[in-house]
Structures are given as structure tokens and as C-alpha cells.
């Protein structure tokens, strides 16, 4: 009986080995391949949908317009009109993470967002960018972020460290949430799939309904995590633009 | 029992962290449903806040998962 390895699917494999600058490994891995596929999928989905550009949208065009409207209204609700100029970036983030999660749901594919390194790369970039936006808008007054208005004076020494830590933990919580959700879901699917093999022909069909249910749930999680990631970026952007 | 055994027992015990996250996420969505039942017109606004709250509550459970990974693989 073969042993189940639920974490084997997250292994990185070098497809094209390449070293640059004397020893820096920048090989083209299966992760890079699925990043390219996700970007292509997003581009095909949006460009293909808007190809005809009809006044009365067909099914495909209406899907593309729906995704646009969804993010546009979310940005408007959380940030207001001041966030309008950041819409292309927010929309790109959403589509990229959504497509990475969705291509990961295909059998035998690789989930790019299940690696903390990838999600942390996205999150730290957003964190630094939003901090720069905050300082550009408010100057040194942006340090007022760490002191909520109306704090009693004796609470100030206690509250400032808490606010600083909570501000600095933003990229960590953003990245770990996305990566751990995707990784846990795929690992559980693999474990349940292993049950089918282990239980054999007589009772092996028992876990299959659960696998179907969980796969549907995983699609929900894939969408929901992209949504949560984006809405949290919007909330942080709102903090940087309007402070609190 | 050697140290390796305790390692796996500890890794299993970290799943208890899901308890709090489950209660937290449940409270968030229960409050959202309560709010929507009282004022259905505010549903779209409440949904956004509920998902943010659920994300924060869920993150606490995911930290338990991170500890599991640290115990097992680090």
C-alpha cells in the first residue's frame, strides 16, 4: 500500500534550469509556468470578453463586465472616490490571485498561491506601496496612524506599541491567510483522495461524496480568499488615504 | 516515549487552535445574519464588514496551522 503524501503536490520542480549573476538560481519552475498560465487566462478572459465590445453584452462580455463592476463598487464602498486612481492596480491584484487560485483547482495543476513566498511577495509590495502613499499624502502626519484620536493620555504608551505591531503585521497576516487557506484545502483534498485508495474497492466509494462537496467548497474558498485579500488591500488603502 | 513522539503529539494538539477560530467565525456570521434580519436593506454593506471580520477571526486559527508546520518541519 502506497503512502499518502498530501504535501507532495506543493513541490517546486525546475523546468528550465538557469543560473544568473554567478549562482543566483532563477530557474523557470512549475510555479512560474502556472503564474504565466494564470496571467494568460486573465488576459484571455478580459480581452476576449471585450473583443466585440457590444452595447448589449453577450454572456462572455457580461462576465468580464461583472468582474469589473464587482471590484469597482467594492473600491468605491471602502475607499470612496479618492481610490479611483488605484483601481487598475486593485483589479489586477484581484484577477491575478483569483486566476492563480482557480488554475490551482484543475487536477494535476500547481497552486501558485499555496506558497507563502509568493503571497508574501505580493503582500509586502502592497504594504510598502501603501505606506509610501500614506506618507506622500500626509507627510510626517502619517505617524498619527499609530495614535487613534480620543485616546486618554495614560493609554498612549500602551497603545502606540500595539498599533505599531498591528500595522507591521499586516503583510504577514495577508500572506499567511491566503497561502494557508489554499494549502490546507488542497492538502485535505489529497488526504481524502488517499482514503479512497486505502479503503479499497468495497468501501472506497464512501469518501467520494465528501470529496465532491469539498471540491465545490474549495472553489468557494478560492474566490473568497481572492475577495478577502482585495478588500483588505482596499481597507488598508483607505487607512492610508483618509487615516482614522 | 522519545522526543519525536512528543513532537507529533504537540503537532496534533495545535489543531485545538481551530476551536477558537470556529467560534469566532460563527459569531461573526451569526451577528451578520441578525443584522440582515433586522435591516435587510443594509445587507450589501454588512457583507463586506462580515467578511473582513471573518478573515481576522480565521487568521487566528491559521496561526495554529503555522505552528503545526513549524513543529513538524522546522
Is pLDDT larger for residue A76 or for residue A9?
A76
Tell whether B72 lies on the interface with A, counting CB pairs under 8 A.
no
pLDDT at B1 over 90: no
Residues contacting residue A225 through CB under 8 Å, at least 6 positions apart: A97, A101, A113, A177, A178, A181, A182
pLDDT at B40 over 60: yes
Q: What pLDDT was estimated at residue A152?
A: 82
The per-residue pLDDT for range A161-184, each reduced to its tens digit, is 888 988 998 998 899 889 988 888
Band (pLDDT 50/70/90 cuts) for residue A35 is: very high
CB contact under 8 A, B58 and A177: yes
Tell whether B66 lies on the interface with A, counting CB pairs under 8 A.
yes
CB contact under 8 A, B48 and A77: yes
Q: Read out DSSP for A14-71?
A: EEE--EETTTEE--EEHHHHHHHHHHHHHHHHHHHHTSS--SS--HHHHHHHHHHHHH
Range 3-42 of B in CB contact (< 8 A) with A: none
Q: What pLDDT was estimated at residue A197?
A: 84
Any idea which of A46-60, A128-142, B13-27 has the lowest mean pLDDT? A46-60
Percent of chain A with pLDDT over 70: 98
Task: With beta carbons under 8 A apart, name residues in chain B contacting A77.
Answer: 44-45, 48
The per-residue pLDDT for range B42-64, each reduced to its tens digit, is 888 888 888 888 888 888 888 88
Average pLDDT over residues A24-34: 86
pTM: 0.86
* 8 A C-beta contact, residue A219 and residue A105: yes
Closest partner CB to A78 (pick from B44, B48, B54): B48
Tell whether A224 lies on the interface with B, counting CB pairs under 8 A.
yes
Q: What pLDDT was estimated at residue B66?
A: 80
Task: With beta carbons under 8 A apart, name residues in chain B contacting A176.
Answer: 59, 62-63, 66
pLDDT at A1 over 50: no
Any idea which of A16-25, A124-133, A189-198, A230-239 has the lowest mean pLDDT? A16-25
* 8 A C-beta contact, residue A83 and residue A136: no
Q: What pLDDT was estimated at residue A204?
A: 80
Q: How far apart are the C-alpha atoms of A25 and A14, rounded to whole Å?
A: 10
Q: What pLDDT was estimated at residue A13?
A: 82
Neighbours of B40 (CB within 10 A): 9
A-B C-beta contacts closer than 8 Å: 33
Q: What pLDDT was estimated at residue B71?
A: 87
The per-residue pLDDT for range A188-236, each reduced to its tens digit, is 888 888 888 888 788 888 888 889 999 999 999 899 999 999 999 999 9
The per-residue pLDDT for range A43-90, each reduced to its tens digit, is 999 998 888 888 888 888 999 999 999 999 989 988 888 888 999 999
Q: What pLDDT was estimated at residue A3?
A: 65
Amino acid at each position: 500500500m502506497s503512502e499518502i503524501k498530501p504535501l507532495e503536490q506543493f513541490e517546486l520542480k525546475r523546468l528550465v534550469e538557469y543560473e544568473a549573476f554567478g549562482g543566483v538560481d532563477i530557474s523557470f519552475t512549475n510555479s512560474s509556468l502556472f503564474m504565466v498560465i494564470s496571467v494568460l487566462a486573465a488576459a484571455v478572459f478580459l480581452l476576449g470578453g471585450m473583443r466585440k465590445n457590444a452595447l448589449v453584452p453577450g454572456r462572455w462580455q457580461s462576465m468580464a463586465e461583472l468582474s469589473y463592476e464587482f471590484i469597482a463598487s467594492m473600491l468605491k464602498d471602502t475607499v470612496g472616490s479618492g481610490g479611483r486612481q488605484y483601481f487598475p492596480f486593485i483589479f489586477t491584484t484581484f484577477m491575478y490571485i483569483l486566476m492563480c487560485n482557480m488554475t490551482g483547482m484543475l487536477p494535476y495543476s500547481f497552486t501558485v498561491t499555496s506558497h507563502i513566498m509568493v503571497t508574501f511577495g505580493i503582500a509586502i509590495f502592497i504594504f510598502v506601496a501603501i505606506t509610501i502613499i500614506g506618507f506622500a499624502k500626509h507627510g510626517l502626519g502619517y505617524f498619527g496612524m499609530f495614535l487613534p484620536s480620543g485616546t486618554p493620555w495614560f493609554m498612549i504608551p500602551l497603545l502606540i506599541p500595539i498599533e505599531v505591531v498591528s500595522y507591521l503585521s499586516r503583510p504577514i497576516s495577508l500572506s499567511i491567510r491566503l497561502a494557508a487557506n489554499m494549502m490546507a484545502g488542497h492538502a485535505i483534498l489529497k488526504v481524502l483522495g488517499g482514503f479512497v485508495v486505502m479503503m479499497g474497492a468495497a468501501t472506497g466509494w464512501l469518501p467520494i461524496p465528501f470529496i465532491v462537496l469539498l471540491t465545490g467548497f474549495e472553489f468557494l474558498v478560492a474566490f473568497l480568499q481572492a475577495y478577502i485579500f482585495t478588500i483588505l488591500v482596499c481597507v488598508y488603502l483607505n487607512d492610508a488615504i483618509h487615516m482614522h | 516515549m522519545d522526543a519525536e513522539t512528543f513532537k507529533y503529539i504537540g503537532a496534533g494538539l495545535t489543531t485545538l487552535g481551530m476551536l477558537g477560530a470556529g467560534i469566532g467565525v460563527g459569531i461573526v456570521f451569526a451577528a451578520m445574519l441578525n443584522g440582515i434580519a433586522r435591516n435587510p436593506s443594509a445587507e450589501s454593506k454588512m457583507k463586506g464588514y462580515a467578511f473582513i471580520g471573518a478573515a481576522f477571526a480565521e487568521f487566528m486559527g491559521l496561526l495554529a496551522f503555522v505552528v503545526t508546520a513549524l513543529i513538524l518541519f522546522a
